Chain A
């Protein structure tokens, strides 16, 4: 059997088109069923039943919702800026859908014409592409909110941009820790490095994982960070004036962002499509599909198979679904932060922690590399212990109530300080 080659020529073109269609359909289907999952899970959490009337177990509910939204009347506010009002939902939805293109979702698939990589576009700038494109989504929110000519919509849009700017910093810093360890921004290589380390990066980079998780919730405008929507304060935030399908495109963008960020978290921190063991390790190394290196430095060729592709795809889907369920679970548990709490958490906690952690990881990898420790289990174990200590320190610090505490606790603290200073209690204490 001759060496496995990647597909090329017209077969490669057909494979690319097929992957684009399948990934797009898969993301859209997941988005549709996330709306159902959100409603069912929230219902169960609140001891209700949820939508169960359309189809068996309500499984056709997303289709009914879509039909309803398509048939509903579209309203245009009289004094809105028409062009930007129409562009808002499009700009919000588009980046949410295209970011999935760089995420590898299964092991390479061998076909008659060559090996097909299970990623739409394995671009060399991987994570940078995601960071660049997801930031564009907030323009849709801001434009839609501003063009509505409604003060609540404008406030929602402003909050969206402020929040996005604040948390992109922490998100970027936690990704930098991953990049230092992976040594590359290509997502296939991030997966490969996790396979070689015998550790998923959630362990050696546990603090980056926590920072990324918190920032991802803020970036996707999900509770407890749904300041742009904040229905109890801002009516419905940036989409107050939208109706029908134009409205539906905003939640679709939100869910698509959730799917992408869940897939990204699975890829960066839970090994992507990787399963324990080295049987599924595959990577293009100088034109050869290898599964690892032998002790003398020569390559071990990989043996891709259809069942390996399917099994790794299931692993990837389960990891992504896990994060999606946690998204919903957290939403129906936590109350919304106050606006100042959101900003304080982003700038005073996550940013310095991220900076410090990047220094720590950079220093640790430098020392380990200088000691000549090979990239492998021991390397990962040392970093896991180090990060575990950093995480424990971070959580103890966060747990002390220095950063996020309620108004009651702040008032109590003031009372205690006054009491210690001998100032008598006042009205309002």
Chain B
């Protein structure tokens, strides 16, 4: 892409006019005064329109019976560049693996979304959400129950055939 430079036309010294410039400036501000461009989002009343691939805090998908979909394969803590996922796997009587401990430190997380990309059973997701305020710091370590409770929409993975997610 080429950089375009807008050249401002400077008035000639002899033709340069303060009054005409003032009046045209006031006309411009008046146009904005009576017809301001609507750019401000009245945030608490109006919801921000998040992009389909916006990456926010995580959520864990659950089965119909309420168990987490996670099979404790250990791929997400391995791939995580910020090392923010702590996973301790376990095995039940039928030999199904499940997470005994699954914690994500959202302060360490860099929201790259690689945990979601790498997950073989589509259990862990990053979500389209940004209102994360808490009163204490330790509330930012999300445990398994917290991750399963989260109900915001999940992030769409990048699709090479639709690079802009349109």
**A400 interface hit (Cβ, 8 Å):** yes
Asked whether, in the complex, the Cβ of A44 is within 8 Å of the Cβ of B13, the reply is: no
Is A70 part of the binding interface, using a Cβ–Cβ cutoff of 8 Å? no
- CB of B20 within 8 A of CB of A333, answer no
Least Cβ–Cβ distance between B156 and chain A, in angstroms: 32
Number of residues in B with C-beta < 8 Å to the partner?
A: 24
Check if A330 is an interface residue, CB within 8 A of chain B. Answer: yes
Complex contact A41–B14 (CB within 8 A): no
B10 pairs with A47, CB closer than 8 A: no
Interface of B, helix, strand, loop or mixed by DSSP: loop
Residues of A within 8 A of B19 (CB): 395, 398-399
| Contact call A409/B40, Cβ cutoff below 8 A | no
**Known contacts A41-B33, A401-B15, A405-B13; A48 and B25 CB within 8 A of each other:** no
Q: How far, in whole Å, are A48 and B36 apart by their CA atoms in the complex?
A: 8
Nearest residue (CB) in B for A412 is: B13
The answer to whether the Cβ of B158 comes within 8 Å of any Cβ in the partner chain is no
B25 in contact with A334 (CB, 8 Å) = yes
Interface string of B27-42 (1 = CB under 8 A from A): 0111011001101101
A329 is an interface residue with CB less than 8 A from chain B: yes
Interface residues of A in 5-47 (CB under 8 A from B): 41, 44-47
B residues less than 8 Å from A400 (CB atoms): 14, 17
CB distance from B24 to the nearest CB of A (A): 10
Task: Pick from B16, B22, B32 the residue with the most CB of A within 10 Å.
Answer: B16
B32 in complex: contacting residue of A46, A404, A405, A406, CB < 8 Å? A46
Would B17 and A401 count as touching, CB distance under 8 A?
Answer: yes
Query: Do B10 and A408 touch across chains, with their CB atoms under 8 A apart?
Result: yes
Smallest CB separation, B128 vs chain A (Å) = 26
Residue from the list A48, A395, A410, A413 in contact with B40, Cβ < 8 A: A48
- B163 located at the interface, meaning its Cβ lies under 8 Å from any Cβ of chain A in the complex: no
Task: Assess whether B118 is interfacial by the CB under 8 Å rule.
Answer: no
Q: Is the CB of B13 within 8 A of A329?
A: no
CB-contacts of A315-362 with B (<8 A): 329-330, 332-334
23 contacts across the A-B interface (CB closer than 8 A): A41-B33, A44-B33, A44-B36, A45-B32, A47-B36, A49-B42, A329-B26, A398-B19, A399-B17, A399-B18, A399-B19, A399-B20, A401-B11, A401-B13, A401-B14, A401-B17, A403-B18, A404-B18, A406-B16, A409-B10, A409-B16, A412-B13, A413-B13
Residues on B facing A (Cβ under 8 Å): 10-20, 22, 25-26, 28-30, 32-33, 36-37, 39-40, 42
Besides A47-B37, A398-B19, A405-B18, 8 other A-B contacts (C-beta < 8 A): A41-B33, A44-B32, A47-B39, A49-B40, A329-B29, A395-B19, A403-B18, A416-B13
Residues on A lying within 8 angstroms of B by beta carbon are 41, 44-49, 329-330, 332-334, 395, 398-401, 403-406, 408-410, 412-413, 416
